[in-house]
């Protein structure tokens, strides 16, 4: 299995370019967000939130820009969980251009959060198992 089990294909839009003719850095964070949510959907976090009012909260994100992206084009954003702690986990993203070249790398830190109590909660055992199954490894 690939080290990035979750992939998302996205079309670059003309409106995302800046005055220098490449995709603006802000758009990269939109792609990373789409990748993050795509990963969450694959492990069922969305349905858990609706039933328990508990779910993920983005603690931090960062991006290292490697190659400019330009319109027209498409990208593939791939994601993998890099670690799971007691109340948090990390997701690494790679943005690949049409030629499969690495355009950017990003890392998120996600904390599990009870929105009714306004406090962190442990990563649910069921969610950990789903991630481990998807990633084909134990954390």
Read off the CATH number of the domain in which 129 is found: 3.10.129.10
- Largest Cα–Cα separation, the chain: 47
Model pLDDT for residues 12-56, shown as the tens digit of each residue: 999 999 999 999 999 999 999 999 999 999 998 877 666 778 899
HSE value, Cβ hemisphere, 13 Å, CA-based, for 109 = 7
Model pLDDT for residues 67-119, shown as the tens digit of each residue: 999 999 999 999 999 999 999 999 999 999 999 999 999 999 999 999 999 99
Rg (CA), the chain: 16
Residue 57, in any domain of the structure: yes
Residue 127, in any domain of the structure: yes
Cβ–Cβ < 8 Å for 23, 12: yes
pTM: 0.93
Q: Sign (positive/negative) of CA torsion 25, 20, 75, 135?
A: negative
Residue 40, in any domain of the structure: yes
12 vs 71: CA distance, rounded Å: 6
Domain that residue 44 falls in: 6-135
């Amino acid at each position: 299995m690939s080290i990035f089990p979750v992939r998302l294909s996205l079309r670059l839009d003309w409106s995302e370019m800046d005055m220098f003719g490449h995709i603006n850095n802000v758009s990269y964070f939109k792609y990373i967000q789409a990748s993050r949510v795509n990963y969450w959907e694959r492990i069922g976090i969305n349905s858990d939130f609706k039933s328990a009012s508990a779910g993920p909260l983005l603690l931090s994100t960062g991006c290292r820009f490697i190659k400019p992206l330009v319109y027209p084009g498409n990208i593939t954003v791939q994601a993998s969980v890099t670690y799971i702690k007691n109340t948090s986990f990390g997701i690494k993203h790679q943005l690949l251009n049409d030629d499969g070249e690495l355009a950017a790398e990003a890392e998120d830190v996600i904390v599990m959060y009870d929105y009714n109590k306004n406090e962190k909660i442990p990563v649910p055992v069921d969610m950990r198992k789903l991630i481990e199954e998807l990633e084909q490894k134990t954390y």
